[in-house]
Amino acid sequence: MRRLLIALPLLTASPAFADPLHDAVTAEMPSLMTIYKQLHASPELAFQEQKTATFLAGEFRKLGFAVTTGVGKTGVVAVMKNGSGPIVMLRTDMDGLPVAEQTGLPYASATRAVTAEGKETQTMHACGHDTHISAMIGTARQLVAMKNSWSGTLVLVGQPAEEIGLGAKAMLADGLFTRFPRPQYALAFHDNAILPAGTIGMRSEYIFANVDSVDLIVKGHGGHGAYPHMTRDPIVLAARIVTALQTLVSRELDPLDSAVVTVGSFQAGAAYNVIPDEARLMLTVRSYSPETRKMLLDGIARIARGEAIAAGLPEDRMPVFRLKDNFTPATFNTEPLNGRMTTLFKARFGDGRVGETKPTMAGEDFGRYWLADKSIQSVIFWVGGVPQAKWDAAGGDVTKLPPLHSPFWAPDAEAVISTATEAMTSAALDLLKK
C-alpha cells in the first residue's frame, strides 16, 4: 500500500469542530485506548480470532445488541432494531498477521500462534485492525447513547480473516444476508500508513484491487548439468516466461488502465550440476475491472503455454496453471453514498482533513458485500495514522514511512480511533436520521 498517493497533498489533521458528538468521543477515548492496547498486545491470526470475537461480542451485548457468534467460523454479528427505517451495516475486521513486532511500544505483541500451514510464528496487528475494532466499539457506544436521534436497524459485523481474503466470503456463505437483516448501506474504514494521522481519504468507484494468487508449474526433462542438450531445461523456460509476462501490462493492457503481475517466488532444483524436471512460480496478479482480470489470467496461461511450445515441450509437459481459491475481488465505492459521506465528513472535520485518494493495488475483501447484492450502497474510506512527527520528518516522501504490514507500523492510535469513531457515528446518524 506504500504507493497510494493522496490527490490533495495538503491534508492536515486540524482539530474537529467541537460539538456534542466530538466531546462524547473525546470522553470515551481513555477507555477505548485501554481496549486498543489490550487488543494490540494479543492479536490472533485469520479464523483463529476466538478471544477477540468473544471480547467484541461481550461489548456489544453490554450495549443491548442481539449478538450471534461463530458466523463464518469466528465472525460476530450484532443487531439492534430501533424503530422503522433503513438497515445500516458497519464492519470491522479482527485478524492480525504472522509478523514479529519491532515497534518498541510498551504494549507490543509478544503473542505466538500456529498458522493454518502448521508453522509457529509471532503475531502482530501490523495492519491496524486493532484500531478498527476499538473504533467499532466506540461507534456502538455512541449510537446506543444517541438512540433517540435515529431510527432503523443497525447491523455491526466483526469479520474474521480479512488478511487472507476469505472472511467476508465465509460470513456470506454462512447466511450474513439471509439470517440477519440485509443492509441498504454498508460502511467500513481502514487505517492508512501514508496519510497524516486524523485525516480522511475518500475515493469513488474502485478503491482496492482484485487480488489473485497463481501457481505456475513449468515442466521440463531433467538431466546432468554437463549435458544440457539432452534435457529440456525448465529453469530457462521459466525465466523466459517471467520475462514475457511483463508484456501483459506493458504491451497488452490499455496504458490508462492499471494492473500488476508480480512473480514473487521462483523455485527450482537442488544441486549445482542437475537440471531439474520442473520449476515452480508463484504470482500475485492485481487489477480492477473483471475484464482486465480475465485478460491477465488468460494471458498468463497463454504465454506459459506458448513459451513451452517454443521450447519444444510435448503436449503432456505443458505448464500447469493453478488459480488459488483466496481471490479477493476489487472493492468499489458506490455513488451517491461516497459523495454524500464526503460532504458529511467535510462539514464535520473541515476541508483540510478530508480529501480524495488514488486507488491502491492492495486488496480488501469488504468489496464482497456489495458484489453479493449490488443494490447495497457501499463505502470504505481511509483514516490516516502516520504520527505527525514522522509525517513531517518524511517531508512528503511516503517511501520513508513504514507501510501497512511492516513490523515497524505504529499508528497514532488515538487519532485513528477518535477520528474513525466520530466519522462512523456521524455517517450512521446521517443514514438513520429520523
Using a 10 angstrom Cβ sphere, with 0-12 exposed, 13-18 middle and 19 or more buried, the burial of residue 209 is buried
- Is 414 among the catalytic positions? no
Among residues 95, 163, 278, 365, which one is catalytic?
163
Instruction: Give the whole-angstrom CA distance, residue 276 versus residue 274.
Output: 6
d(CA 343, CA 321) in angstroms, rounded, equals: 46
Question: Which residue matches cell numbers 498517493?
Answer: 5
Please identify which residue in the block is written with the cell numbers 511492516. Answer: 406
Number of Cβ within 10 Å of residue 272's Cβ equals 6
Report in angstroms the alpha-carbon separations of 229 from 83, 269, 275, 294, 318: 78, 17, 11, 37, 19
| AA identity, residue 290 | P
Q: Which three cell numbers stand for residue 137?
A: 466499539
- Burial of residue 128 (CB within 10 Å: 0-12, 13-18, 19+) is buried
Catalytic residue among 44, 49, 93, 191: 93
Q: Is 315 a catalytic residue?
A: no
C-alpha–C-alpha distance, residues 18 and 310, integer Å: 69
Catalytic residues: 93, 163
